[in-house]
Amino acid sequence: MITANQWALVTNQSSSIQAMMQNDSETGTSTKPPKLNHINDWGWWKERLRTYVQGQGQDLWMCFFTAFDNELEVAGSNPETYSTMSDDDKKKFELEKKAFMILTQALHRDIYHQFVYCTTTKSLWDMLTLRCEGNAKSRKIKQELLKKEFEGFTCMENETLAELSTRFHHLLSEMFAFRVTATPQEMVKRFADSLPAKWSSFLEILKENGVLDTITVYELIQKLENKDVEEKLKAKRTLTPQNAEMYYGIAGGISGEKPASQHAKLQTAFISNTGPSTTNQFDPSAYTMI
């Protein structure tokens, strides 16, 4: 019989494995391309796929933008005519097939099913681009919407610094995908202006020191995160109970001792006269005051 602890361990391991598989699906591995699981993920997935394909070979990436010769398709698909093809034509045919394999493997089944009629890398890539980015008019509308979102970007209610920065990074990625540009200074200013009022004093210090004019938005976020950690640690120290009696109120923590802050009374020093002592008892006459 499985105990509760054993079941919890199995559940945690299963969750960890699922998280790893999900991450591999989204980011890809050395042998598998990143997968487009939803059309809305097109922006970041497109860049990851480009990096993956170019890592396999720049010639493969060129297949995404070069129309494939139909005559090569016919000749390469027939074993008899394939053997008569030149080495250069065979290379072109094999590159196209490898590129098409990578692209189809990178698409979720439900997405690929919508474009199954596309039989070449370029035709499939073009249709995906049109579907996800739209035509020139729809792209223009998307660009305008992203510009407005950037210009009006601000902190939402009860949003943490981590959540705010993550949302800002997503916005920048989407802007990059649709070629909406912003200068580094504009990014810094926009993010700084979006912060809640509690950051005003810290931002003023950065402005007076000229820091905001020389850093990127990523460096600004790093400084804010470091400051946030410092404030949290300070808050924890403030809430820690203090037992001053151990070292201040009562010396040594022993009852009856006088506080360490009080000075000891002035003591008078004596030196002994010369000559032997005749008694072990204290004799004031045997000492001379100095």
β partners of residue 289: 270
**Contact indicator for 139, 86 with CB cutoff of 8 Å:** no
**Contact indicator for 214, 184 with CB cutoff of 8 Å:** no
Per-residue model confidence as pLDDT tens digits over 52-110: 999 999 999 999 999 999 999 999 999 999 999 999 999 999 999 999 999 999 999 99
Per-residue model confidence as pLDDT tens digits over 26-68: 555 668 999 999 988 888 899 999 999 999 999 999 999 999 9
* Residue spans of the chain under pLDDT 50: 18-24, 253, 256, 258, 260-264, 266, 268-272, 277-279, 282, 284, 287, 290
In sign, the C-alpha dihedral spanning 209, 210, 215, 221 is positive
Q: In sequence order, what DSSP letters do the residues of 1-23 get, joined into one string?
A: ---HHHHHHHHHHHHHHHHHHHH
Q: What is the pLDDT of residue 237?
A: 76
**Contact indicator for 168, 152 with CB cutoff of 8 Å:** no
Q: Please choose, from the candidates 204, 184, 245, 195, the residue with its C-alpha nearest in 3D space to the C-alpha of residue 225.
A: 195
Q: Which residue has the tokens 């093809």?
A: 85
Q: What is the pLDDT of residue 268?
A: 47
252 torsion bin: left (phi>0), alpha (psi -120 to 50), beta (else): left
Please give the structure tokens belonging to residue 187: 């990014």
User: CB under 8 Å, gap of 24 or more: what pairs does 111-116 form?
Assistant: 111/36, 111/38, 111/39
Q: What is the pLDDT of residue 243?
A: 78
